[in-house]
């Protein structure tokens, strides 16, 4: 199996640009971005990237011909878009596409029962993956890989409950639980590497990281970089989860994000996992202090 022609759907979101960059950097792929005709995003892509505009609802009768001669489809759309991804997968099978990478890219493991209980987005991700598993069983030429990266590290400090301006930092329990987390660049490299090792990455989860840290180490890195001591607030994670879950059940979206923060901080240590593939994919660990310095500079 060899993958050369790759379609990316969702190139303009938070994650999409990093994945696009990772693909282009290898020089190994012909990349086409699929997007809606009404899309307002800029299509400001690296040289050589093709764009295919489709009707807004991505109908299957347009997708099948558009996917002819493509080897892989990567979805980085918002992860709860189940129907869209199922339709893309159906069209991919019909067009003879070999690999589908769904929009998993989770802060935590979307297979986890607790993740599904706390945050509905993981139910949606699991529904897409179950569907891909079924398609792969029925069609020997078709396969999938789900990439699980931990929290996006260089995305949104607020999501980590870090306030750079006020120098405040919120810590769950004692802050000593280790978790895996990845930069956009690392996720892009990993996605490209999966497609370059299609046999080894077939029909499986791939867990990756830029580094494995705990919250105390992260706090120290920010204190070191800013040359100041920060104010810390500690939460008991069980009480916190109980309180945020009640709010989430009442429709509070920020409470859902807080629950995802907890899951990715307390239940996301990939190094000991069976599917941990940093070495297989040739990914280097990144340097925490260097990445934190870059984040502080850019914020
Ligand atoms: N691990 C973490 O910390 C973390 C954090 C956030 C997200 N995630 C996950 O990462 C993945 C990507 O999330 P994201 O935040 O990057 O998503 P996002 O910003 O919401 O992605 C939007 C992208 O999807 C495209 N899109 C949206 N609806 C579409 C449709 N109906 N048809 C075609 N294209 C459509 C948009 O196109 P236009 O711009 O053209 O409208 C845009 O390119 C998700 O699975 C999400 O759950 C993980």
Write the CATH number for 69.
3.40.50.720
Q: State whether 23 and 142 are in the same domain.
A: yes
Task: For residue range 85-109, list pLDDT tens digits in order.
Answer: 999 999 999 999 999 999 999 999 9
- Pick from 7, 9, 10, 161 the residue to mutate for probing ligand 1's pocket: most ligand atoms within 8 Å of its CB: 10
Q: State whether 110 and 172 are in the same domain.
A: no
- Residue 203 placed within a domain: yes
Tell how far the Cα of 12 is from the centroid of ligand 1, in angstroms.
8
Q: State whether 266 and 254 are in the same domain.
A: yes
Tell how far the Cα of 88 is from the centroid of ligand 1, in angstroms.
15
The band of 1, judged by pLDDT with boundaries at 50, 70 and 90, is confident
Region 167-186 average pLDDT = 98
Q: State whether 290 and 195 are in the same domain.
A: no
Q: State whether 44 and 139 are in the same domain.
A: yes
Structural domain that includes position 108:
5-148+183-207
Q: Is the CB of 11 inside a 6 Å radius of any atom of ligand 1?
A: yes
Tell how far the Cα of 10 is from the centroid of ligand 1, in angstroms.
6
The DSSP output letter for 286 is: P
Q: Which atom of ligand 1 is nearest to the CA of 76?
A: 12
- Residue 275 placed within a domain: no
Q: State whether 74 and 159 are in the same domain.
A: no
Q: State whether 172 and 126 are in the same domain.
A: no
Q: What is the pLDDT of residue 79?
A: 85
Q: Is the CB of 9 inside a 6 Å radius of any atom of ligand 1?
A: yes
Q: State whether 264 and 200 are in the same domain.
A: no
**pLDDT exceeds 90 at position 155:** yes
| CATH number of the domain enclosing 265 | 3.90.25.10
Q: What is the pLDDT of residue 207?
A: 98
Residue 82 has which token pair?
A: 């189940």
Q: State whether 127 and 259 are in the same domain.
A: no
Task: For residue range 199-227, list pLDDT tens digits in order.
Answer: 999 999 999 999 999 999 999 999 999 99
User: Sign of torsion, CA 12 18 20 21?
Assistant: positive
Residue 152 has which token pair?
A: 């996006």
Q: What is the pLDDT of residue 221?
A: 98
Q: Is the CB of 76 inside a 6 Å radius of any atom of ligand 1?
A: yes
- Residue 276 placed within a domain: no
Q: Is the CB of 151 inside a 6 Å radius of any atom of ligand 1?
A: yes
Q: How many domains does the chain have?
A: 2
- Residue 170 placed within a domain: yes
Q: State whether 31 and 83 are in the same domain.
A: yes
- Residue 99 placed within a domain: yes
Region 56-79 average pLDDT = 97
Q: State whether 129 and 24 are in the same domain.
A: yes
Tell how far the Cα of 36 is from the centroid of ligand 1, in angstroms.
13
Q: State whether 130 and 225 are in the same domain.
A: no
Atom 19 of ligand 1, nearest CA residue: 13
Give SS3 for 170: strand
Task: For residue range 217-270, list pLDDT tens digits in order.
Answer: 999 999 999 999 999 999 999 999 999 999 999 999 999 999 999 999 999 999
- Residue 277 placed within a domain: no
């Amino acid at each position: 199996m060899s993958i050369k022609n790759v379609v990316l759907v969702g190139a303009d979101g938070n994650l999409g640009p990093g994945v696009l960059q990772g693909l282009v950097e290898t020089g190994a792929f012909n990349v086409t971005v699929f997007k809606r005709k009404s899309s307002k995003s800029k299509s400001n892509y690296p040289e050589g990237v093709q764009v295919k505009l489709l009707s807004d609802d991505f109908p299957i009768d347009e997708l099948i011909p558009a996917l002819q001669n493509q080897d892989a489809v990567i979805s980085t759309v918002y992860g709860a878009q189940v129907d869209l991804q199922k339709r893309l997968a159906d069209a991919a099978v019909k067009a003879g596409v070999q690999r589908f990478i769904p929009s998993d890219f989770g802060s935590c493991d979307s297979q986890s029962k607790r993740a599904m209980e706390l945050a509905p987005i993981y139910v949606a991700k699991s529904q897409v993956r179950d569907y891909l598993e079924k398609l792969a069983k029925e069609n020997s030429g078709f396969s999938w890989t789900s990439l699980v990266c931990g929290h996006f590290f260089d995305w949104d400090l607020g999501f980590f409950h870090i306030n750079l301006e006020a120098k405040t930092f919120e810590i769950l329990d004692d802050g000593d639980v280790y978790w895996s987390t990845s930069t956009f660049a690392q996720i892009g490299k990993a996605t490209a590497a999966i497609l370059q090792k299609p046999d080894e990455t077939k029909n499986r989860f791939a867990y990756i990281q830029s580094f494995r840290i705990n919250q105390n180490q992260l706090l120290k890195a920010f204190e070191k970089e800013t040359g100041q001591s920060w104010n810390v607030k500690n939460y008991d994670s069980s009480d916190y989860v109980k309180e945020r879950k009640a709010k989430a059940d009442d429709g509070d979206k920020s409470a859902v994000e807080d629950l995802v923060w907890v899951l990715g901080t307390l239940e996301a240590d990939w190094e000991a996992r069976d599917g941990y593939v940093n070495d297989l994919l040739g990914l280097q660990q990144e340097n925490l202090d260097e990445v934190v310095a870059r984040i502080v500079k850019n914020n």
